[in-house]
A and B are shown apart, each in its own frame.
Chain A
Amino acid sequence: MTSSRLWRSLPWNGLGVLPFVLFAVLFLLLPTAHIVAGAFVDAAGGFTLKNIFNLFRPEIINAFWLSIRLSLTSAVIGCGIGFAIALAVVFGGLPRALRGVVMTFSGVTSNFAGVPLAFAYVATLGRVGFVTVLLRDWFGVNLYALGFNMISFWGLTAAYVFFQIPLMVLIITPAIDGLRREWREAAEVLGASNAQYWRLVALPVLAPSLLGTLALLFANAFGAVATAIALTGSLLSIAPILLFNQIRGDVLGDPHLGYALAFAMIVITGVSNGVYVVMRARAERWLK
């Protein structure tokens, strides 16, 4: 082989993606790999599983358990209400213009998360919030005397649902659109009632989309930090806030435990996103 042929056989085409590869490796893959590797290394630099075992301390387990319950509850509620809205928009016989409004509004509110959402929430349900005062002055109901507290499980869930519903609407509406008119007609010709059509045809077709989106919403809530911090001032011990405090000041007193904490978070969001991808592939078999 002459040198010019060797020169030409080099993978020059690969050079075109070099900037992107450098960027992705340096600022996405390497930092993540560093965290994952750190979870399996002890202070002296040797391999260990001790950090992972150390995660099973009550304060960490409780933080993860609270996070999981919070994410799951807000995902289930978001899924249910979002599905109802999407069904109403697609099949409800509503004016066509309403659909555009709902979709745009969902786009806005699903991006209106984080700190401003927490402020809106405090202005509404805080001690002198809009709804709190309204209920007190007009209906004589004192929310806070009834035991309501924003910095609690249900308080935070209600705030999370605010960005979960629009995300559900955005993802599930195209899936519902994919239900073909022929399927309903075929079912009707065969004598199926409306309920039978939904139970035996539509819901089984939609099931992977519903489950997949549920997993996505779960991961979405699990990784959220800013809303919770702005609402609770890092008081409520959920997994991302625990990690936030650990990065700021090593509250666990063991840097490697911090790595293990982050690793556990990746595992949980990774698994739920994996469920989403698998379910979406399954849904696409029907919905083309």
Chain B
Amino acid sequence: MKRFWAWAAIGVAAVYFFLPLLGMLEFSLKMRRGEYSLDAYASVLGDPQFQASFGYSVIMAGLTIVFGVLIVVPTVFWVRLKLPRLRPVMEFVTLLPLVIPPIVIVFGYVRLFNTSSWLPLTGSALGTDFLLLCGYAVLSLPYMYRAVDTGLAAIDLRTLTEAAQSLGAGWITVLARVILPNVLVAVLSGAFLTFAIVIGEYVFAALLDRPAFGPYLVWAGGNKAYEPAALAVMTFALTWGCMALIQAVTRFSKHTRMPR
């Protein structure tokens, strides 16, 4: 009886979740009248605006990951090693991007860094790109911080650092050649999650007026019929790919880690 209800719950949920996915897949194939075809996908992939905006967002996601790793890994390392009393503060600050709605943060950017302010980042395209990069780094901060923090908790930081130092390694060497390889799996899962968040992000890009994939999606939604469904299918596949990669690297690490 219990098993029946369990299957019923899973079944109802499966229908609720698969119907929209099936719906968008079916709709994306309907562009040619009377038969299923990949015309909508061809139309999307051939659109120069799609290529430009998607390329822009991929580059932004890559830069965000690099920027995030450079900011988070040394900081978490240093706090765990030298300033453990600061950990609750770090926890709190890295949680804030989940508490403060993103639209409020970008509102702050627009007002604080406008052309007549002391740091006129929105005055130039490059400055605005940098601002967007920082915004994305803020959005991914909770996930990146938690991933790296858990990763560093699993290794014996002090011993590794002292061993490396007694062999003559400087701080940069310690971080790049001892710590980073040890938390690579954690960093990678943070990175893939960051990619999934950044690639379709809308509010930051729209309000900072940058030609990213998110605003392109909204534009396509208002102006095209079948292409939005094709775009949704592609984005879903991309999100799925990111999650699969996270699982893959986590599983891989379990096999390679030495039993203690």
A residues adjacent to B (C-beta < 8 A): 13-14, 16-17, 19-20, 23-24, 26-32, 34-35, 38, 81, 84-85, 87-89, 91-94, 98, 102, 104-105, 107-109, 111-112, 114-125, 129-131, 162, 165, 219, 222-223, 225-226, 229-230, 233, 240, 243-244, 247-248, 258, 262, 265-266, 269-270, 273
Contacts and interface: CB of A to CB of B under 8 A. Distances in A.
Nearest to B10: A88
18 contacts: A23-B134, A31-B112, A34-B112, A35-B104, A92-B3, A93-B6, A104-B247, A118-B221, A120-B20, A120-B23, A120-B24, A123-B228, A162-B20, A165-B17, A226-B214, A229-B202, A247-B106, A247-B207
B209 to A, nearest CB: 10
Contact of A17 (B24, B83, B98): B83
A91 B3 CA distance: 9
A72 to B, nearest CB: 16
B207 A244 contact: yes
Contacts of A222: 101
A122 to B, nearest CB: 7
Contacts of A120: 20-21, 23-24, 229, 232, 236
Contacts of A115: 200, 202, 214, 217-218, 221
A199 to B, nearest CB: 17
A125 to B, nearest CB: 8
Given A226-B214, A273-B98, A111 B196 contact: yes
B203 A225 contact: yes
A115 B100 CA distance: 20
Interface of B: 2-3, 5-7, 9-10, 12-13, 16-17, 19-24, 26-28, 71-72, 74-75, 78-79, 82-83, 86, 93, 95-112, 131, 134-135, 137-138, 141, 193, 196-197, 200-203, 207, 214, 217-218, 221-222, 228-229, 231-232, 235-236, 239-240, 242-244, 246-247
Nearest to B207: A247
B17 A109 contact: yes
A102 B104 CA distance: 33
B108 to A, nearest CB: 3
A109 B236 CA distance: 8
A14 B229 CA distance: 50
Contact of B75 (A16, A105, A112): A16
Contact of B83 (A14, A94, A162, A269): A14
Contacts of B221: 115, 118-119, 122, 230
A285 B22 CA distance: 43
A157 to B, nearest CB: 13
B23 A88 contact: no
Contact of A85 (B13, B79, B101, B242): B13
A111 B100 CA distance: 18
A28 B22 contact: no
Majority-rule SS of B interface residues = helix
Contacts of B200: 114-116
Given A34-B112, A115-B218, A115-B221, A121 B207 contact: no
Contact of A108 (B98, B108, B243): B243
A93 B5 CA distance: 10
Contact of A240 (B20, B75, B103, B214): B103
A24 B93 contact: yes
B203 A230 contact: no
Contacts of A34: 108, 111-112
Please report whether the interface of chain A is mostly helix, strand, loop or mixed according to DSSP. Answer: helix
Contacts of A38: 111
Contacts of B75: 16-17, 19-20
Nearest to B230: A119
Contact of A32 (B105, B137, B240): B105
A123 B99 contact: no
Given A94-B7, A115-B200, A244 B103 contact: yes
A23 B103 contact: no
A10 to B, nearest CB: 14
Nearest to B78: A16
**Interface-centre pick from A92, A98, A116 (highest chain B CB count, 10 A):** A116
B247 A165 contact: no
A48 to B, nearest CB: 18
A230 B228 CA distance: 11
Contacts of A85: 9-10, 13
Given A19-B75, A38-B111, A244-B203, A223 B27 contact: no
A233 B222 contact: yes
Which residue among B79, B82, B111, B137 has the maximum number of chain A CB atoms within 10 Å of its CB?
B111
Contact of B10 (A102, A124, A225, A262): A102
A281 B73 CA distance: 27
Contact of A88 (B6, B93, B97, B228): B6
B11 to A, nearest CB: 10
B104 A32 contact: yes
A220 B198 CA distance: 17
